[in-house]
Amino acid sequence: MNFNDQTGTDQVMDVSSAVERLGSEKLLKRVAGVLLENATNHTTDIKDAIAAHDDKKLEMAAHTLVTSMTYLSASFAPAAAMKLEHMGRDGVVDGLQDVYDLLMIAIDRMAEALKPLL
């Protein structure tokens, strides 16, 4: 996974696709607000699972995050979360922290992209 090509909030998510997917900007605002409120819990669960070497918890927490971010037509953040999900499912430990760090950067950028909507 390479984060170098993710340089601006316009590349973090496609707001027009998210509005089209959800049906209205009002619903997008609501979904974005809920996602950002819950993202801390999900990323904490992921971090705890990595520290505890709990592959199943990692897989489940990352999957929950992937699902919620997909509604926002986000690009890199769900890809990083999905990578963690697969790593948990497959019991892969090498690189977990690096992918987690990329996920956190991507979520921060997504939060910045969503600020004008909230």
pLDDT one-digit tens code per residue, 30-69:
888 888 888 889 999 999 999 999 999 999 999 998 888 8
Q: Contact 88/56 with Cβ under 8 angstroms? A: yes
Average pLDDT rounded to a whole number, residues 107-117:
82
Q: Contact 43/89 with Cβ under 8 angstroms? A: no
Average pLDDT rounded to a whole number, residues 13-26:
82
Q: Which pLDDT score is estimated for 11?
A: 61
Q: Up-side HSE of residue 22: CA atoms within 13 Å toward CB?
A: 21
Does position 10 have pLDDT exceeding 70, yes or no? no
List of domains in the chain:
13-117 (1.20.120)
Closest CA to 111 of 85, 84, 76: 76
